[in-house]
Each structure stands twice: as C-alpha cells, then as structure tokens.
Amino acid sequence: MGRLAQALSIIKPILVVVLLITIAIPFAWSYQRVIPLKITLPQDTIIPDLERKLIQRGVFPKKAKGLSVDIYNVCAMRGISPYLIIALMETESNYDLKAISSAGYKSLMQTPSSSGYADVDTLHGIRILQDKLGIVNGKLDQGLLQYGGFRDFPERGKPYVLKVLRLYAVLQE
C-alpha cells in the first residue's frame, strides 16, 4: 500500500496539470467576455473567509481548508466568484465529492464526469457554467437554469435558481 500511495502522490499533480490543460485551453477564448463576478480580494484575505464560510455551511474543518484553497485557485484562474461556486456546490451536491444524482451527474458540481479531485471537478463545473453563461450572454439566472438542466422548463427551475442566488448573496456578506 505504501508504494501505491507514493505512486499516486507523484501521478496526481501530473494528472491535474494534464486535465487542467485539456479542459481550460480549448475553452479559454470564449470566456473572456462573460461577466461573472471577479475576485476582488487578495488570496490571504479570501481563502480564510472561504474556509470560515464553508465551515459555517456544515463542511468539516479539515475538508473546508483544502476545499477553500481548491475553489480559490480554480476561480482565480477562470475569473469567477468563489462565492458563486460555493453556492452552486452546496445546491448541487452539498459539498460531497462522491455525490451522484439520479440522472447520473457526479461530484461537487454535478457534472457528467468526475475525476475524484476537487480542483479538477470544480474546474470542469466552472467551464460548463461559463459555457452556459456564454450561451445566454452572461445572464446569471438564465445560465443557472441551463446549468441545472432547466433550460426547457424555466418554471420548474425557478426554485433552483433562487436557492443558488440566495446562497450566493449570503456568502458574499
């Protein structure tokens, strides 16, 4: 078991870089104009705030520490608010990396696939969200409807969108 753990510790950073490159580069050009909600605080201010808010939302402290760093790093790279992503994660999976929906969506952001790594899965979910936002010209409520699978059923998706937006507002306080 020691050799396996050692091999995984060597392979994980390589896998993360490869996945980040394969997910981020092909889509980077189309997201420069999408509005949401840039990070305005420095890293040493925002990561402890994210960690504190995750703990307040029921995430165990040890998990909150790692998750806050992963969320910050990926959100900073993609130019999107980490508070929005936390609101979306809570709504989609209640911060469960192993969550699987009845429709077969997986992980923290309930995407079609899962790597098992919070940072990679968060990046994948953000890419999908930004793709949906690009389709609706940056309109957050409509982008969330699309992300949640309610594009054709906007009335059914209204409670979902309201929940994410309320959480987002609370988390920004």
- Give phi and psi for 14, each to the nearest 5: -65, -45
Q: What is the mean pLDDT of each run of 10 residues along the chain (173 residues)?
A: 66 58 45 44 78 94 92 90 95 93 92 90 94 92 94 90 94 89
Please give the pLDDT value at position 46.
83
pTM: 0.76
- Phi, psi dihedrals of residue 13, rounded to the nearest 5°: -60, -35
The terminus-to-terminus CA distance of the chain in angstroms comes to 45
The answer to whether 155 and 79 are in contact (CB under 8 A) is no
Q: Which domains, and CATH codes, for the chain?
A: 2-172 (1.10.530)
